[in-house]
């Protein structure tokens, strides 16, 4: 099979350039086009010196490709997706524009009018562990957000197997790269260093995305979700602590076996025996999951961690691309975590 030509729309963000890094070493594709209006006309290696070996010019518009990744902000990304589909280019959208199925909910949380609501029902939520067959046949995949990826994978076995009540609490912590590359006061070194802060206490935009997919796992039942994100002083990494009351008495061994069976054939999910740490996933496409039981409260506690830019962004997008192109799912993604 000849390598497929692919491109990245808006390579100048953190996930955009991580896509370029991973695609450059991917044996099944040729990265032939990267765009970025603010950096158009510059070499990729001039904007990002660590990419100096990639001989590509940043252009204002996408070149001749068969599949594109749109890493534009919400609103703008949807318009780019429409243009790609009109040219028969398959698209993986990194933004939130096609994750939510309810257009009114999207417009409530993102405060913009959706430019292509007719595509919401077609877009496949790009969680390979849950929607593999649908992704393989899709022309438009909505790449999940980082918080949803970390949280949904942590809770999926327990909810699908009706192990827990549907009143759920998720406490998540993310490195500052999750806030994007644009300058913001709270991500300045002096503000974020030696500091941990909760934010979006009135409701984070990833919350409806998490709830939507948990309700799918629950067979359409309503899920009551409390989601609190935190910013922590590190560049990459995400750790989620998820809590739900058990519906029946089970042993820890039974819970671990349920989780291991659920993820038995998944190449990038590991059910581990000790609480995972974010350094154990740094730079990799792995999600580490550790379920435990609190016998005093009869609650299931699930700890999960990912690299927010890889499994929470660029790596998962390439995992979806592999499925869409009929390539082995792990192609270009089998690198281990970087330590220390």
Given a contact cutoff of 8 angstroms between Cβ atoms, the answer to whether 170 and 225 are in contact is: yes
| Paired tokens of 153 | 């994978």
Torsion, CA 206, CA 334, CA 279, CA 298, rounded to 10: 60
Q: Do domains 4-122 and 147-308 have the same CATH topology?
A: no
> d(Cα 101, Cα 103) in Å, to the nearest integer?
6
Q: Does domain 4-122 have CATH number 3.30.1330.10?
A: no
Q: In what order do the strands lie in the sheet with 124-125?
A: 58-59, 29-35, 4-9, 67-70, 90-93, 140-142, 124-125
By annotation, the residues acting in catalysis are 146
Under 8 Å CB-to-CB from 31, ≥6 apart: which residues?
Answer: 6, 7, 8, 20, 23, 24, 54, 56
> d(Cα 8, Cα 20) in Å, to the nearest integer?
7
pLDDT of amino acid 4? 98
Task: Give me the tens of pLDDT residue by residue for the chain, a chain 340 residues long.
Answer: 799 999 999 999 999 999 999 999 999 999 999 999 889 999 999 999 999 999 999 999 999 999 999 999 999 999 999 999 999 999 999 999 999 999 999 999 999 999 999 999 999 999 999 999 999 999 999 999 999 999 999 999 999 999 999 999 999 999 999 999 988 999 999 999 999 999 999 999 999 999 999 999 999 999 999 999 999 999 999 999 999 999 999 999 999 999 999 999 999 999 999 999 999 999 999 999 999 999 999 999 999 999 999 999 999 999 999 999 999 999 999 999 999 9
Kind of pairing between the strands at 67-70 and 90-93:
parallel
pLDDT of amino acid 205? 96
Residue 191, H or E segment: helix 189-192
pLDDT of amino acid 222? 98
Q: Where are the domains of the chain?
A: 4-122, 147-308
Residue matched to tokens 């590190």: 234
Helix, strand or coil, per DSSP, at residue 288: strand
Q: Does a cis peptide bond (omega within 30 degrees of 0) precede residue 340? A: yes
Fold exhibited by the domain 147-308:
Dihydrodipicolinate Reductase; domain 2 (3.30.360)
């Amino acid at each position: 099979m000849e390598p497929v030509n692919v491109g990245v729309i808006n390579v100048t963000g953190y996930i955009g350039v991580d896509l370029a890094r991973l695609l450059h070493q991917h044996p099944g594709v040729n990265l032939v086009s990267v765009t970025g209006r603010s950096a158009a006309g510059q070499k990729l290696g001039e904007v990002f010196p660590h990419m100096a070996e990639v001989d590509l010019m940043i252009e204002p518009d996408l070149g001749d490709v068969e599949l594109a990744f749109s890493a534009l902000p919400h609103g703008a990304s949807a318009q780019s997706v429409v243009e790609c589909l009109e040219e028969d280019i398959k698209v993986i959208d990194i933004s939130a524009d096609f994750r939510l199925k309810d257009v009114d909910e999207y417009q409530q949380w993102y405060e913009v009018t959706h430019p292509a609501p007719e595509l919401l029902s077609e877009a496949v939520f790009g969680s390979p562990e849950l929607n593999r067959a649908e992704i393989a046949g899709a022309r438009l995949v909505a790449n999940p957000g980082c918080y949803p990826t970390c949280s949904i994978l942590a809770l999926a076995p327990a909810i699908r197997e009706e192990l827990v009540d549907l009143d759920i609490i998720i406490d998540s912590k993310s490195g500052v790269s999750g806030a994007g590359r644009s300058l913001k006061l709270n991500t300045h070194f002096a503000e974020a260093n030696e500091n941990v802060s909760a934010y979006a206490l009135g409701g984070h935009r990833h919350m409806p995305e998490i709830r939507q997919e948990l309700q799918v796992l629950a067979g359409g039942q309503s899920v009551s979700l409390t989601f609190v994100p935190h910013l922590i002083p590190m560049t990459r990494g995400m750790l989620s602590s998820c809590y739900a009351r058990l519906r029946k008495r089970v042993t820890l061994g039974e819970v671990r076996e349920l989780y291991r069976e659920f993820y038995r054939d998944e190449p990038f999910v590991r059910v581990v025996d000790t609480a995972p740490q974010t350094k154990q996933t740094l730079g990799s496409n792995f999600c580490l999951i550790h379920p435990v039981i609190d016998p005093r409260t009869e609650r299931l506690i699930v700890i999960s961690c990912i690299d927010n830019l890889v499994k929470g962004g660029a790596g998962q997008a390439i995992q979806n691309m592999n499925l869409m192109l009929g390539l082995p799912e792990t192609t270009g993604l089998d690198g281990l975590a970087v330590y220390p």
